[in-house]
Every structure is written in structure tokens, then in C-alpha cells.
Amino acid sequence: MILGIGTDLANIERIARTLERFGDRFRNRVFTEVEQQKAEARADTPGTYAKRWAAKEACSKALGTGLRMGIAWKDMAVSNLATGQPVMEVTGWAADRLAQMTPPGHVAIIHVTLTDDHPWAQAFVVIEAREIAQGAARTGHGAG
């Protein structure tokens, strides 16, 4: 079942100007170390930050809160699988909110997709609840 859907569109040039103006103050407030390392290693550094900014906004919307109610930017972090597929990890208040949304007997899975076409970066997040299989509940292994 779908628990939440969120999308966001970010202007890459606006993020580039913010990076120029505020530098590490902006990076350290919004992005985890892993996100910063990924962005700084890319040729399109502002585009990489913009996609992750959009993903955090989209995730906060999928959580049903937006960026209010105690959620922090760093409570949501985008990393990549070895295949390059982006994944969203939540901690802190975002993880607490996700747990509140997830029905008993289910596990929450956050799907995220990112794209950009200069000057725009877009993210789409879907939070899914999958029922935990009976055998998996006894062995401690969940679905997915």
C-alpha cells in the first residue's frame, strides 16, 4: 500500500548561487557528509546538490509534514547503490514519523527517483508499506 507521495522541482542555478553565497554553512546545514562527498566528486556539483535538495523536499512531503514539525534536512539522506540507483535513508524525527505512518505487520520502503535537465532538478518519492510475510516475522527477515 502507498503511505505517501512527494515531488519537488529545484532550480540548479538557484542552488549554485546559494552554494556560492553560503558555502559550507549551507552544505553542512542541509547535506550529510556522504551527500557532500558525492556532490563534490561530480562534474555537475550544483546539479547533484539540487537533486538531493529536491529529494529531501519530496521525502518530507511524502512523510506528510513538509519541512516542519521538527523534521531536519539531515534526517533525510540520499545515497546510491552500487548500480547508481538512489536510495533515501531517514533518521531522527523523519524515522520516527515513518514508523508512525507504517501499519503494524508492515515494513516501510522509500522509493526515490532523481532527474535533471538544466536548469531544473526533480525528485519523486513514494513511501510504500509492504506486509511482512508470516515466516519472515518469525525469522526476523522482512520483505524487500
Known binding residues for Mg(2+) are 8, 57
Tell whether omega for the bond before 104 is within 30 degrees of 0, i.e. cis: no
Query: How many angstroms separate the CA atoms of 35 and 86, rounded?
Result: 11
As annotated, the binding site includes 8, 57
Query: How many angstroms separate the CA atoms of 85 and 44, rounded?
Result: 18
Query: How many angstroms separate the CA atoms of 60 and 106, rounded?
Result: 20
